[in-house]
Amino acid sequence: MNMKLSAWTLAAALLLPLAAQAQAPAKAPIKDPEFCLTCHDDLTDEKVVHPAIRNGCLDCHTNLDASVRPHKNSGKLPHGLDAKQPDLCLSCHGKLVANKKLRHPAIDMGCTGCHDQHSGKNPRMLKALPPDLCFKCHDKDDFNGKFVHGPVKAGQCVTCHEPHASDNANLLKKPGAQMCLECHDDIKDAPHMLAGFSRKGHPIGDEKRPQPTADPLRKGKLFYCASCHEPHRSDFDKMRRFDPNLGMGVCQKCHDK
């Protein structure tokens, strides 16, 4: 009887480690982000996590040998990165700038100037929300004045401007007056100074009258609403560029007497 118990005891002793090994979680493969996050879990602490991390850290840190610590870098760039910015980011996010005439200079300065690369507390991992994010490069004083355009005052820079690339001047979401008429559509049905108060509608650059004419006072820019109205801030009501007390003198800025 004792011999029988000893045999069972011996069998249990041999089998229990095997059973425990079968139930133990398998170690994540090196390409699996869980492998990296066992040490670098602080990189995903924030609310919004870069979806690229789910694909595996080595998609960006291609030249790192993560099987040894400290990791060996077989590439020429820091952190084993596969390419410099913005090329590294555009390998996935290329549609943001593809075939566009104008690209936001901030992109070539590096995407991480605006975005956290691993995780962040703001949507799209932005380092700050507009307008504070925009003011990191654009002088805040240029957007303050006696009269401030409503969207500017509300910090809605991306209501009018594309943050990455555009086919329109100043990275506008639509060409010239078409952008302005998105909000100021009442101008389409009311007399306007430039129409001579003789007919309704806006005379420059709306969808019925596309306007390729050059601005006579602003070199390299088109003649549209912003030729007479400041788009961001002004010292005069109705966001006018020129003192309305000049009367016809405003017209003579462009037209000979």
Sketch the domain layout of the chain as residue ranges.
39-125, 134-253
Q: Partners of 240 in the beta sheet?
A: 229
pLDDT of residue 6: 58
What confidence tens digit (pLDDT) does each residue in 25-72 have? Answer: 445 566 778 889 999 999 999 999 999 998 889 999 999 998 898 999
Q: Which tokens sit at 107? A: 């992109």
Can you tell me the distance from the alpha carbon of 255 to that of 121, in angstroms, rounded to the nearest whole number? 53
Closest among 180, 9, 198, 44 to 120, alpha carbons compared: 44
Whether pTM exceeds 0.95: no
